[in-house]
RNA sequence: GUCCCCAUCGUCUAGCCCGGUUAGGACACCACCCUUUCACGGUGAGAACCGGGGUUCGAAUCCCCGUGGGGACGCCA
């Protein structure tokens, strides 16, 4: 194991969103690539807004995406506890060091960090108040993605609230020191905070970690970065919708990073092998759900039969699709496998396969009108029923031969029998390949559906 | 308003560091092919270097200025 230590430090103040997942992913990938340690630390210092529910969402989402942490809640480690709400004694110690060094002072009941430099009063018309400005030397940040960035930190800032709770900037830095974090990989929205953090590291006499500020994910429509309220922003939503987690990981890895060539669909082991901070872009990326959906489809298509069936069944169970009674296991499996090459995602399955499991399937009126308006579909259906009564149902090919033989005898084509029979047995004009559908449904079900359709037509 | 970051097809991006390409790929869109519906797949088309200066024989690539986009400016994280 290398000495590289990275951390993902979410605060459980809302559902886990895609931007956080991407930040976690880049940290995780970097740790795995370098053989380093991936630490999970929970930043729950804002007692007002934290909740256990959100905390569990974070754990679930990380696990679902396959991002296992080496140190953190539930795992332990040499630098715990890993929830900031349990680290108060550590913070007190560090705060005292700052006070003793003359780098912190009390004002209005809060503790402030003291910058070094000459002071003067100035009116800030953005905040509409007079503030004390400090003529401080610029803080230099050497960012692994952005290069050298200079920013002047020119106002003392609160590090412990008047209610006694330390603020983010302080605990974030203390924990990074205490947990020996070597690389801070986080969103670019923190770049402006980094000068505060660097000053704190220096005040503590601690080595400044390497920073890597990754580009933000912008919302798909409209201005600004993606926020929790945006459509498609929540990881749990993809989990609920039966997305393949590996597809989401693959998609996310490509938002702001690329392997340096044209490859896009890659197993995670390959992404780990190729990932490096030097390959991370500097510009923000707009979220594109169509591309994600496409990636997901590619993964669905590539799933091995047993794996696909297991995932599909889990989805059906979770969404209580068979509330009226579970179908035969073997039949369900056949239906699922028949549908796999045709769907874009697991979530399409219930609607796509519904008619396989009920005799009360609706006949699409539009499709019926269209199909029944040309040629002599009723006669075709009667002819087909006649043939199907004795046809060999043991394989798709056998059924296909039977239908083709019939068509040839009547001087017609396969297509003349397809539309109407598909309509009769499924009520629609889309679905898996016809002969496979017949085979899976079985002779009796097909025949009775055709008869019922004929009687109603 | 102040400070910081960024800028190649509609979108994600390669190329930029180290100047010379018909500026490549993917998603989306369109057409055609495959075909037993719908998909998948295949082929093809359209589609970009933000603007202006400079340096240079030559600039997407280096520099400057605009403009545009994003972020930060909390006793939130």
Q: Which residue is nearest to nucleotide B27 (CA to C1')?
A: A291
Is nucleic acid strand B under 7 Å from A226's C-beta? no
pLDDT of residue A231: 79
- Rounded Cα gap, residues A157 and A108, in angstroms: 12
Is nucleic acid strand B under 7 Å from A45's C-beta? yes
Which of A309, A454, A284 is CA-nearest to residue A380?
A454
Using the structure, give the distance in angstroms from the CA atom of A258 to the C1' atom of B22, rounded to a whole number.
25
Which of the nucleotides in strand B have any atom less than 7 Å away from a protein CB atom?
A: 1-8, 10-15, 24-28, 36-41, 69-77
Question: Is the fold of A87-214 the same as that of A303-357?
Answer: no
pLDDT of residue A1: 59
Closest nucleotide to the alpha carbon of A261, via C1': B14
Closest nucleotide to the alpha carbon of A152, via C1': B3
Q: How far is CA A163 from the centre of its chain?
A: 37
- Rounded Cα gap, residues A132 and A101, in angstroms: 21
pLDDT of residue A127: 79
pTM of the model as a whole: 0.94
- Sorted by where each begins, the domain ranges of chain A are 87-214, 303-357, 365-456
Mean pLDDT (10-residue bins), chain A, 457 residues: 91 90 98 97 83 91 97 93 94 96 94 94 82 92 94 94 93 97 97 96 96 96 86 91 97 94 94 95 95 97 96 96 89 97 96 95 92 90 94 93 93 92 95 96 95 89
pLDDT of residue A189: 95
Looking at residue A241, the DSSP 8-state letter turns out to be T
User: What's the CATH fold of domain A303-357?
Assistant: Helicase, Ruva Protein; domain 3 (1.10.8)
Asked if residue A206 lies in contact with residue A170, where contact means CB atoms within 8 angstroms, the answer is no
Closest nucleotide to the alpha carbon of A169, via C1': B77
pLDDT of residue A111: 96
User: What's the CATH fold of domain A87-214?
Assistant: Rossmann fold (3.40.50)
Using the structure, give the distance in angstroms from the CA atom of A156 to the C1' atom of B76, rounded to a whole number.
18
Q: Which residues of A are catalytic?
A: 228
Asked if residue A421 lies in contact with residue A451, where contact means CB atoms within 8 angstroms, the answer is no
User: What's the CATH fold of domain A365-456?
Assistant: Arc Repressor Mutant, subunit A (1.10.10)
Is nucleic acid strand B under 7 Å from A266's C-beta? no
């Amino acid at each position: 194991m290398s000495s590289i230590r990275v951390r993902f430090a979410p605060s459980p103040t809302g559902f886990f969103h895609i931007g956080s997942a991407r930040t976690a992913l880049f940290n995780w990938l970097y740790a795995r690539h370098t053989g380093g340690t991936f630490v999970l630390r929970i930043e729950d210092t804002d007692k007002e807004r934290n909740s256990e529910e959100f905390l569990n969402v974070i754990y679930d989402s990380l696990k679902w995406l396959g991002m296992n942490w080496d140190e953190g809640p539930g795992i332990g480690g040499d630098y715990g506890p890993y929830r900031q709400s349990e680290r108060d004694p550590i913070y007190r110690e560090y705060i005292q060091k700052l006070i003793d060094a003359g780098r912190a002072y009390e004002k209005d009941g809060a503790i402030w960090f003291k910058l070094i430099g000459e002071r003067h009063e100035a009116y800030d018309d953005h905040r509409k108040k007079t503030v004390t400005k400090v003529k401080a030397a610029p803080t230099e940040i050497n960012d692994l993605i952005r290069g050298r960035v200079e920013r002047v930190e020119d106002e003392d800032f609160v590090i412990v609230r008047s209610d006694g709770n330390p603020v983010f900037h302080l605990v974030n830095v203390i924990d990074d020191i205490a947990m020996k974090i070597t690389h801070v990989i986080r969103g670019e929205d923190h770049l402006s905070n980094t000068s505060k953090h660097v000053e704190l590291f220096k005040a503590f006499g601690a080595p400044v970690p390497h920073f890597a500020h990754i580009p933000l994910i912008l919302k798909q429509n409209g201005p600004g970065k993606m926020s929790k309220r945006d459509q498609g922003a929540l990881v749990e939503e993809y989990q609920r919708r039966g997305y393949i987690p590996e597809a989401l990981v693959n998609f996310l890895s490509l938002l702001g990073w690329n392997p340096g060539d044209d490859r896009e669909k890659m197993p995670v082991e390959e992404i780990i092998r190729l990932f490096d901070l030097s390959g991370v872009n500097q510009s923000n990326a707009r979220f594109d759900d169509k591309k994600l959906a496409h990636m997901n489809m590619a993964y669905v298509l590539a799933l091995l039969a047993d794996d696909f069936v297991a995932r599909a069944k889990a989805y059906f169970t979770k969404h209580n699709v068979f509330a009226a009674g579970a179908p035969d296991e073997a039949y369900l499996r056949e239906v699922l496998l028949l549908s796999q090459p045709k769907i874009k995602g697991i979530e399409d399955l219930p609607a796509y396969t519904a008619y396989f499991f009920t005799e009360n399937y609706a006949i699409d009126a539009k499709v019926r009108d269209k199909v029944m308006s040309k040629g002599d579909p009723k006669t075709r259906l009667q002819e087909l029923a006649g043939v199907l009564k004795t046809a060999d149902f043991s394989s798709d090919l056998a059924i296909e031969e039977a239908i083709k033989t019939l068509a040839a005898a009547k001087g017609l084509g396969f297509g003349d029998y397809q539309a109407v029979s598909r309509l009769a047995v499924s009520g629609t004009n889309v679905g898996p390949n016809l002969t496979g559908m017949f085979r899976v449904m079985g002779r009796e079900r097909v025949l009775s559906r055709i008869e019922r359709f004929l009687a109603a037509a």
